[in-house]
Amino acid sequence: MTAYSALSAHFGRAAALSNALGILQWDSDTMMPKGAVGTRAESMALLRVLAHGMVTDPRIGDWLAEADAQSDLDPWAQANIREIRRIWTVETALPPDLVEASSKAISACEMAWRQARADSDFPSLLPYLAEVLKLQREIGRAKGEKLGLSPYDALLNDYEPGGRSERIDALFEDLAAFLPGFTEEVLAIQARRPVDPALDGPFAIEAQRALGVKMMGVVGYDFQRGRLDVSTHPFCGGADNDVRITTRYDEADFARALMGVMHETGHALYEQGRPQALLGQPVSQARSMSVHESQSLLMEMQACRSPEFLHFAAPHMREAFGGTGAGWEPEALWRRYTKVERGFIRVDADEVTYPAHVILRYRLEKALIGDEMPLSELPSAWNAQMQDLLGVVPPNDRLGCLQDVHWPSGGWGYFPTYTLGAMTAAQVFDAANRAEPDILPGIARGDFTPLVGWLRTHIHSQGSLYQTDDLLTRATGRPLDAGVFKAHLRRRYTSEA
Amino acid sequence: MTAYSALSAHFGRAAALSNALGILQWDSDTMMPKGAVGTRAESMALLRVLAHGMVTDPRIGDWLAEADAQSDLDPWAQANIREIRRIWTVETALPPDLVEASSKAISACEMAWRQARADSDFPSLLPYLAEVLKLQREIGRAKGEKLGLSPYDALLNDYEPGGRSERIDALFEDLAAFLPGFTEEVLAIQARRPVDPALDGPFAIEAQRALGVKMMGVVGYDFQRGRLDVSTHPFCGGADNDVRITTRYDEADFARALMGVMHETGHALYEQGRPQALLGQPVSQARSMSVHESQSLLMEMQACRSPEFLHFAAPHMREAFGGTGAGWEPEALWRRYTKVERGFIRVDADEVTYPAHVILRYRLEKALIGDEMPLSELPSAWNAQMQDLLGVVPPNDRLGCLQDVHWPSGGWGYFPTYTLGAMTAAQVFDAANRAEPDILPGIARGDFTPLVGWLRTHIHSQGSLYQTDDLLTRATGRPLDAGVFKAHLRRRYTSEA
């Protein structure tokens, strides 16, 4: 057995464990009865310890050194070695007592956050969040030392391998200079629109589900390797060959669940389209969080909020709910699905205002990890940024800096991937349309094969063969910039068609 | 840390793994999409290897030796040590290559069985089943050597610790002498009954489910620590504090799903009632398969096919399905629920004919493991036993020796626990009623607390503190015999009330 085949067998076993964890997490979020919380936490903690033990196995270092000397490896194997080294480097960077301290601080902080958010009481969260932040800084420092990165970039690197804040700063400043004025412009245009008639609800959950399933099928989701269920927070999860998505239904508003389903289906198509022969190997994994988010936002924002999709989907929507009247016309539905509003809550934001929410969080978390501002000033700094970027200030911290679980749960460095994903989605969709002129006409007739075929070839099947910049350059001709995203927003929101 | 606390912590971790496996198995049977079969098999195989590694950890032998010398242990800890030693002895008895060979032979045989059953083609199964049998004999010999038991008793011991075939022979011969004549008598009595009017279906699945949930609640099932779902083969599974049951619905016949739900609820009450403070420790586990089956059959057969239960439940059934007419009277429903018929299929059998199916299998598997008959003679031996015990002969092997998955899947020594369970159920229910005269009146008014309270105290909360004979003697005054079971059958089926 060569060192590479030993590595590959070892990481295949690690994937079997990770797949088990994926299903247990899905079950926790969709099926598990409340009384099982503690028992489940013990099972998952044990599996995580075993998984960590596998990817930090002392033999890995030796296998890697030997595999580097193997001359018989194809590009996929070479990339697999690169990914294995990256995982192994990061996973072995932290002393066990830091991992344990961080895990405990996060558990305590998540609990405190739930109460603090309900009470809109930031001071009650402050000591818990300070502890999480302190430990995240230590984690960033420890990983950064091994990777030659700043603490923030080391944290970012977990979600966005190769991602650097210097680059994100430039991309986000470009957007931040553009968005406030553009938002004003869009709001003015939309204010001059005629008001569309309301759609009469309620919209039965069973009918919403059936419509979602139908549209998942249209797009090409493989129900032999996945399911659609309900959870409080929609997600795409599960395991290899078992890619499960969730949504939540509101009987008063079907629009949200449907676009949520299309969003998660975008994630799921990426997962279902990863290189089948290498499933389980690190190189088969999705390239990064920004590329993952690009696939969900491409499907939801670029494809399914287009006039073409709504032209195709409007009759299905009307039929699903027995709708009548002008509100069900494709144009009216399109206006409904592209309405822009300034709001306080990120997860409710439209594609025009969403980046402002992300840029704000990115700036603040980078400053906090870099120890450039005291945590106690978070609420006022948050509100000042909201004023600058969005022109609105939340009336309380529940609608402000307490709204997201990311920081309490240790997800520092994650936020920028949302907007990197939105920009990537625009750039990829644009390139796809140039290469395959039948993509938009296909969507208009309910045929997603031109689009999904292109994505399969250029993104999904590539797994982690290339670094993000290379993947994007091969797919779109250049690394990420903000240009196409801005052009997309201008075209969709300010060219009065 | 004492040796005992080391053991206890170690087996607590093993339980966390076993709980993970329980949920993954549940998911495989209820939720998993077909395309995930292979991926799931890999995850579960890995977790099983890890679990096996934990309970065969070399330190266990030392800890056991040290713990034996500890003088500070209460009876629960002492019983826990006894159970740990039993598990450890059995799990360390087999050489790894035998485990692997058996696992492979079982996988191949299960696949061959599915086809052979569909084709009613025993010869096509024969070579696969011969291999499984050969390896089961070896497993029985290896375990038997460590336990001082015959190969068959060693296999039986896995499901029924302390169970011995000599004892089962006597109990089953008692029943075998009684049942054929008794069945004749019951059939003659039932043939003289007036024919009850048919119940008009179809019975909507949602209404069946709601009725099942309602009755689970009546009996005291804790939905905070469990769920009800659908699977092809009903079971009770899941994890500690997460005891999930399943059923299957037939729109043409609601009776079956409801009694199936009550059966699995009986299992679930046992699981939910095990000693909470020791969950995860071997001593907290259900005592044996026969005791487990006694709890399901007590609930289904003794309690829920009683006139008292049907008196209470009839209006709920009628209301659930909008039923009208004399068929919905409690007496008519009771006759429906106690109808006896000679049939070929074990899982469809009523409580009078079921033991014949089990005795037949027990005799045959004992002879096969003991190498007292050639496997090729199984079909003819099966049919001869059917003639002797039930007076009917299946027209083909699909309805005969190919009907059960137990032997192809390596479950040799399991069958007798069904009928030991039925006998135990009768003996326990009888003792409970003597001790708590309000049990049957309680059932008649939909109040199961007298019954379940008694079971909690005398069976569920006892876990594996006592050996089966001791548990039964403490609960009912004596070890198991066939007397009460026969008396129950006579009273229910031949005293024309």
Q: pLDDT tens across B147-194, in order?
A: 999 999 999 999 999 999 999 999 999 999 999 999 999 999 999 998
Contact B20 A24 (CB under 8 A): yes
Q: What is the pLDDT of residue B261?
A: 98
Question: DSSP string covering A32-51, please?
Answer: --GGGHHHHHHHHHHHHHHH
Is B17 in Cβ contact with A224 (below 8 Å)?
no
Which distant-in-sequence residues (6+ apart) come within 8 Å of A183 by Cβ? A340, A342, A352, A353, A356, A390, A391
Pairing type for strands B236-239 and B242-247 reads antiparallel
- Report the alpha-carbon distance of residue A169 to residue A163 in Å, rounded: 11
A260-318, pLDDT tens digit by residue?
999 999 999 999 999 999 999 999 999 999 999 999 999 999 999 999 999 999 999 99
Which chain B residue lies closest to A10 (C-alpha atoms)?
A: B46
The question of whether A264 is a catalytic residue gets the answer yes
- Return the closest-CA partner of residue A455 out of A423, A422, A425: A425
Both tokens of residue B11? 């087996």
Q: Exposed e or buried b for every residue in B208-222, given b needs 16+ CB within 10 A?
A: bbebbeebbebbbbb
Q: Is A41 on the interface with B (CB under 8 A)?
A: no
Q: Phi and psi of A247, rounded to 5°?
A: -145, 180
Cβ A493 vs Cβ A191: under 8 Å: no
Q: Residue B459 pLDDT more than 90?
A: yes
Crossing angle for the helix pair A289-297 and A468-476, to the nearest 10 degrees? 40
Q: How many CB atoms lie within 10 A of CB A104?
A: 12
Candidates B13, B18, B23, partner chain A, best to mutate (most A CBs within 10 A): B23
Residue B194: what pLDDT?
87
Q: Residue B495 — pLDDT band, cuts 50, 70, 90?
A: confident
Q: Give the β-pairing of A228-230 and A242-247.
A: parallel
| A242's tokens | 């078992």
Query: Within its chain, how far is the Cα of B23 from the centroid?
Result: 19
Q: What does B326-372 look like in DSSP terms, one character per residue?
A: GGGSHHHHHHHHT-----S-GGG--TTTHHHHHHHHHHHHHHHHTT-
Report how many Cβ contacts below 8 Å link chain A to chain B.
103
Instruction: Tell me, yes or no, if B20 comes closer than 8 A to chain A by beta carbon.
Output: yes
- pLDDT score at A496: 54
Q: How many CA atoms lie within 13 A of B311 on its CB side?
A: 12
State the nearest Cα–Cα gap between A240 and chain B, in angstroms.
Answer: 7
Question: Distance of alpha carbon B182 from its chain centroid, rounded?
Answer: 24
- In the stretch 242-301 of chain B, residues with CB closer than 8 A to chain A read 242, 279
How is the beta sheet containing A236-239 ordered, strand by strand?
A: A228-230, A242-247, A236-239
- Residues of chain B neighbouring A44 (CB-CB closer than 8 A): 20
CB proximity B227 to A under 8 Å: yes
Residues in Cβ contact with B418 at an 8 Å cutoff, skipping those fewer than 6 apart = B293, B354, B358
- A401: DSSP letter: T
Give the Å distances, CA to CA, from A482 to A178, A358, A424, A478.
Answer: 10, 15, 9, 12
The residue-averaged pLDDT of A384-412 equals 97
Instruction: State both tokens at B54.
Output: 């934990």
**Chain A residues touching B240 at Cβ < 8 A:** 39
The pLDDT value given to residue A340:
97
Q: Of all residues in chain B, what percent carry a pLDDT higher than 70?
A: 100
The proportion of chain A whose per-residue pLDDT surpasses 70, expressed as a percent, equals: 100
For chain B, the average pLDDT equals 96
| E strand or H helix that includes residue A228 | strand A228-230
Q: What is the pLDDT of residues B39-96, one digit of tens each?
A: 999 999 999 999 999 999 999 999 999 999 999 999 999 999 999 999 999 999 999 8
pLDDT at B496: 54
Neighbouring C-beta atoms of residue A306, cutoff 10 Å: 19
Residues of B in contact with A242 (CB under 8 A): 32-33, 35-36, 39-40
Hey, is B127 helix, strand or coil? helix
Q: In the Cβ-directed half-sphere of B176, how many Cα atoms lie within 13 Å?
A: 18
Tokens standing for B133?
A: 């049998």
The one-letter code for the residue type at B164 is R
β B228-230/B242-247 pair status: parallel
Contact A239 B19 (CB under 8 A): no
Q: Nearest Cβ partner of A35 from B33, B46, B241?
A: B241
Yes or no: say if B294 and B428 are a contact pair by the CB < 8 Å rule.
yes
User: Using CA atoms, how far apart are residues A199 and A336, in angstroms rounded to an integer?
Assistant: 10
Residues above pLDDT 90, as percent of chain B: 97
Verify cis geometry, omega within 30 degrees of 0, for the bond prior to A202. yes
Q: Nearest-CA distance from B397 to chain A in Å?
A: 33
- Which positions in chain A touch B223 (Cβ < 8 Å)? 33
CA separation for the pair B308, A424 (Å, rounded): 68
Q: Does B17 touch chain A (CB under 8 A)?
A: yes
Catalytic residue among B131, B264, B271, B365: B264
Q: What is the mean pLDDT of residues B264-281?
A: 97
How many angstroms away from the CA of A165 is the closest CA of chain B?
37
Pairing status of strand A236-239 against strand B242-247: unpaired
Would the pLDDT of A479 be above 50?
yes
The CATH number that domain B120-198+279-497 falls under is 1.10.1370.30
> DSSP E strands: which ranges in B223-336?
228-230, 236-239, 242-247
pLDDT at B98 over 60: yes
Integer Cα distance of B153 and B244 in angstroms? 31
Tell whether A213 is within 8 A of chain B (Cβ): no
Contacts of A495 (CB under 8 A, 6+ apart): none
CA distance A20 to A16: 6
- Residue closest to A115 by CA, chosen among A405, A393, A411, A406: A405
Which of A19, A39, A50 comes nearest B43 by C-beta? A19
Alpha-carbon distance values, A225 to A221, A222, B21, B197 (Å): 9, 6, 20, 46
- Sequence-ordered list of residues with C-beta below 8 angstroms from that of B456, at least 6 positions apart, any chain: B273
Chain A contact for B367, CB < 8 A? Answer: no
Task: Choose among B23, B223, B241: nearest Cβ to A24.
Answer: B23
Identify all chain A residues contacting B24, using CB atoms and an 8 Å cutoff.
Answer: 20, 23-24
Buried b / exposed e across A433-458, counting CB within 10 Å, b at 16+? beebeebbebbbebbbebbbbbbbeb
Identify which of A315, A351, A309, A335 has the alpha carbon closest to the alpha carbon of residue A497. A335
| Cα distance between residue A310 and residue B471, in whole Å | 68
Catalytic pick from A91, A131, A264, A365?
A264
DSSP code of residue B211: H
DSSP annotation of B303 reads: I
Give me the phi and psi of B251, to 5 degrees please: -65, -20
Residues of A within 8 A of B224 (CB-CB) are 33-35
At position B40, the amino acid (one-letter code) is: R
